[in-house]
Amino acid sequence: MGVGDMVLSFPNLVLAMAVAAALGPSLRNSMLAVAAVWWPIYTRLMRGLMLHLKHEGFVEAARVCGGSSLYIIRRHILPNSLSALNVRVSMDLGLAVLVLASLGFIGLGVSPPTPEWGAMVSWGRTYFLTYWWIGVFPALAIMLAVIATNLLGDALNELWNPYLEGSER
């Protein structure tokens, strides 16, 4: 967790730009840069969930009934922590879209023959006064993708979070 804390001490976009610049511009390297930025968040989330769930009553009951540690992790702890992980992933998809578009905007994303929204916005800004739609429509696509993933994450949170008030569970 010490390495993860060190990675978390840097701003996400700045660290992603540094990793993408070190690896070179390509789709694979951009995705590696995003993964290098976000892995400590998921590691910390899963560690916290595991530490919380191991003291729950159903885990203690499984331990008293003679369940092995591997059985308890596989049968009880992982299924109860995956809903929080799925919600976090769906909420972070919008941020990942923004970071990938930002990397493409500054030239660290996908190489030029491949279409990419950030590169399209960057290219369209030079023609903004005469041909405004060249940069506006890719920017609108980015905005709609981020809103859609955030709405998906919110819906999944309402569906899977048993601690929300008014939940049907």
User: Which residues are within 8 A (CB) of 19 and not within 5 positions of it... i.e. 6 or more apart?
Assistant: 29, 32, 33, 36, 37
Q: What percent of the chain has pLDDT over 70?
A: 95
Other Cβ atoms within 10 Å of 117 Cβ, number: 22
Helix (H, G, I), strand (E, B) or coil at 24: coil
| pTM score | 0.73
Average of per-residue pLDDT across 80-104: 84
Q: How far is CA 154 from the centre of its chain?
A: 14
For residue 25, give both structure tokens.
Answer: 């511009």
Asked if residue 166 is part of any domain, the answer here is no
For residue range 101-135, list pLDDT tens digits in order.
888 888 888 877 788 888 888 888 888 888 888 88
**Whole-number pLDDT of residue 140:** 94
Residue 54 placed within a domain = yes
Tell me if 65 is assigned to some domain. yes
Structural domain contains residue 167? no
- What is the count of structural domains for the chain? 1
| The residue type at 3 | V
Which contiguous run of DSSP H or E holds residue 3?
Answer: helix 2-8
Tokens of 87: 């919600």
The domain in which residue 142 lies consists of 2-160
Round to whole Å and give the CA distance between 162 and 97: 29
Question: For the segment 49-73, what is each residue's pLDDT rounded down to a tens digit?
Answer: 888 888 888 888 888 888 888 888 8
What 3-state class would DSSP assign to 131? Answer: coil
